[in-house]
Structure 1
Amino acid sequence: MKTSTLQAIKAHAVAEYPRECCGLVIVAKGREKYIACRNAAAGTEHFILPGEDYAEAEEKGEIVAVVHSHPDMPAAPTQADRVACEASGLAWHIVGVDSVDGAPAAGEVVTISPSGYLAPLVGREFSHGVLDCYQLIVDWYKQERDISLKQFHRADDWWNDGSSDLYTEGFPQAGFVAIKDGDKPQVGDVILMQIRSSNGVPNHAGIYIGDGLMLHHLHGRLSSRDVYGGYFQEVTRAILRYKDDIVV
């Protein structure tokens, strides 16, 4: 990476602190350039690079890398970074930013490239929209059934926006239908739960894996296998089955 590109990245990271910065490195007419983009994420936990910013960068040159910062944490890639890097097919540059004597200062830059990484089903870190409860179900179906489920956009904090019912609307698009009340869950069934949702709609999903257990990923926790009973049954709003598993 050229010195001027690195300087531009670090300046952007400092300017956006304590939020994550994000941007793209392009090559246009044989010259490398950093394009600062907007972070459309709510809060400071992650970044969302808008599609229109990506498209504008593509018009200016060939995109060769994705950039973002890690405020108040090491530049080492998270599991979400590694998963998203694989999906992008591009190199990722991560810059650490810390407060030094009351002012932000950019430090180490770590670069990763696609290498075939897959996040574990159990013990993965939470990152909404990248490694969350829906993505866990997507990955389980791919690994266990070789089925690629449809992705749908998941805006930050959608369950508290006063109107969205994303999972009720989204899972049917991915090929799931509700089973009858009283029917017992079978392996692969999706359990829709409502957990602290201001919209009063299901906002958490787990997958039944048999023997009274479900695999799920709660916000702010590692993905885990837990007994499907007690509290989780109380907050269950529907159990869905993949269309290919329905016997008529």
Structure 2
Amino acid sequence: MNEINQSLALAHAAKEFPREACGLLVIQKGREVYCPCRNIGVGTDQFVIHPEDYVAADRQGEIVEVFHSHPNLPPEPSQADRVACEATGLPWSIVSFPAGQWAQIKPVGYVAPLVGRQWAHGVLDCYALVRDWYVQERGIELPNFERFDEWWKRGMNLYLDNFGSAGFGVTDLTDRTDLKVGDVLLMQVASPVPNHAAVYLGDGLILHHLQGRLSSRDVYGGYWQKVSTHALRHPDLHRHL
């Protein structure tokens, strides 16, 4: 990103402060053009580029870089930034506002750790953890689903609406001795619908990522058993051992 576009992006960051600003850099007629985008993410610590703005930028020229700001924070990329950068396949520029310090990252094959990853809804959340466990431990690619923060409060029921298309079937949750490694446990955490998922690791342990916390291995008992609503099993799970 050249100095002119850095100035435009910095002005955009000032306009959006204290929320994160986001935009795209495109090549139009051989020149870099900065395209400011609307951030439709929830809160002040994340960004989601409006789909209409992404399409508009794509029509304007070839998208070659993603930009966003870190309000009152250093420009060092978070785990979610690195994961999302890999997904886009593009370089990312990050500016600390109002400090004006810059950093850039590029896709290098980064994969967030299964345990100890930071929370970022839609990028590093409980379903992302399930997907990553399946591909890393069993070589099974699960589909991703577009989701916004607190979708369960918006009249959506994403887990129950989509587990079938992800290849899962319901298994018996009443007999917990029948749980197998890799079974996915759906849970209802302060929600009208199941809104949390964990992977059963065997030996009474689960792997999960609760909102606002680091992902962790925990004992499957007490509260977690109480709020469990469904156990799901993938038919290909044990064919990939």
Q: Does 1:229 align with 2:221?
A: yes
Q: Does 1:36 align with 2:36?
A: yes
Q: Distance in 2 between matches of 1:126 and 1:181?
A: 28
Q: Deviation at 1:106?
A: 4.7
Letter in 2 for 1:242: H
Assess, with a 3 A threshold, how the Cα gap between structure 1 residues 76 and 245 changes in structure 2: closer, same or farther.
closer
Which of 158, 183, 188 matches 2:182? 188
CA deviation string 1:111-166 (max 9, x = no partner) = 000011000000000000000000000000000111100111112211112x2111
Structure 1, unmatched stretches of 5+, are 98-104
Letter in 2 for 1:191: L
Which of 191, 198, 209 matches 2:201? 209
Residue range with higher mean Cα deviation, 184-193 or 163-172: 163-172
Residue range with higher mean Cα deviation, 182-191 or 32-41: 182-191
Q: Deviation at 1:67?
A: 0.4
Q: Deviation at 1:51?
A: 2.1
Where 1:138 maps in the other structure, the secondary structure is helix
Partner of 1:62: 62
Where 2:136 maps in the other structure, the secondary structure is helix
Q: Deviation at 1:72?
A: 1.5
Partner of 1:101: none
Q: Does 1:153 align with 2:146?
A: yes
Q: Distance in 2 between matches of 1:32 and 1:173?
A: 41
- Tell me if structure 2 keeps the 8 A contact 1:194–1:203: yes
Partner of 2:15: 15
Q: Deviation at 1:245?
A: 4.3
- Tell me if structure 2 keeps the 8 A contact 1:13–1:106: no
Partner of 1:100: none
Residue range with higher mean Cα deviation, 151-160 or 16-25: 151-160
Letter in 1 for 2:57: A
Letter in 1 for 2:225: Q
Q: Deviation at 1:243?
A: 2.5
Which of 167, 177, 191 matches 1:175? 167
Q: Distance in 2 between matches of 1:87 and 1:52?
A: 19
Q: Deviation at 1:109?
A: 1.1
Assess, with a 3 A threshold, how the Cα gap between structure 1 residues 84 and 245 changes in structure 2: closer, same or farther.
closer
Partner of 1:48: 48
Q: Does 1:120 align with 2:113?
A: yes
Letter in 1 for 2:172: K
Where 1:172 maps in the other structure, the secondary structure is coil
- Tell me if structure 1 keeps the 8 A contact 2:138–2:237: no
Letter in 2 for 1:133: C
- Tell me if structure 2 keeps the 8 A contact 1:14–1:106: no
Partner of 1:111: 104
Q: Distance in 2 between matches of 1:188 and 1:94?
A: 37
In the comparison of the two structures, how many residue pairs are matched? 237
Give the TM-score, by structure 1 length. 0.92
Instruction: Quote the RMSD (CA, aligned, Å).
Output: 1.3
Assess, with a 3 A threshold, how the Cα gap between structure 1 residues 243 and 208 changes in structure 2: closer, same or farther.
same
Letter in 2 for 1:109: W
Where 2:66 maps in the other structure, the secondary structure is strand
Residue range with higher mean Cα deviation, 235-244 or 115-124: 235-244
Letter in 1 for 2:157: D
Letter in 2 for 1:10: L
Instruction: Give identity over the alignment, percent.
Output: 55
Where 2:107 maps in the other structure, the secondary structure is coil
